[in-house]
Amino acid sequence: ILFSTYIFFFNLEDNQVRSSSSNVNTNIDNKIIDLKYNASDEEGNSYLIKSNSGKVSNEDKDILILENVIGRIKIKNSEEIIISSDFAKYNKVTLDTYFYDNVKLKYDSHLIDSDILFMNYIDKSINIENNVIYKGRNNKLSADMVEIDLVTKLSKIYMLDKENKVKLELKKNGSN
């Protein structure tokens, strides 16, 4: 039984989480203050999520409802991605995180604002939706949906209503 338990909990597949830890300073009336979770996998990727406060969901004990959230994703051989939002639902088991309200994603010189961002850590993918505004060095883009593969860096940007078009503004910088 001990061997089976060890294999099930500690011998995870390559793409699964290798370690996860939390730092909780205070827990009063189901409210957690200064929450911090850190996870990494065998490929060298890591995910850190911090929150000023949060609480355990009434519907699912594995879900934490967080306030004033910052997530830091480090994919091997890539720049750090920083996600911030007013609120998030964080799954302690899968590390899936649903950021909402005033969501901002920063990567290198790229900034994306939206209402909703869903990050799937195991698949290394991000879906951003509702009022998506992308700002780059020389452009600004408005869309309904952005899908990002964190490993390949491939992104899909599109509108949900086929009648509407993605809006793009290019700034003149002397080279365009």
Do 69 and 49 contact (CB within 8 A), yes or no? yes
Could you give the CA distance from residue 41 to residue 14 in angstroms, rounded to a whole number?
A: 7
pTM over 0.75: yes
Determine the pLDDT at residue 19: 46
Percent of the chain at pLDDT exceeding 90: 52
Which residue in 107, 110, 155 sits closest to 133, CA to CA?
A: 110
Which residues of the chain fall below pLDDT 70?
Answer: 1-29, 173-176
Tell me the pLDDT tens digit for each residue of 33-80: 898 999 888 888 899 999 999 999 999 999 999 999 999 999 888 889
> What per-residue confidence (pLDDT) applies to 27?
46
Q: Which two tokens mark 37?
A: 């979770």
Tokens describing residue 6: 């060890």
The structure tokens listed for 45 are 């990727």
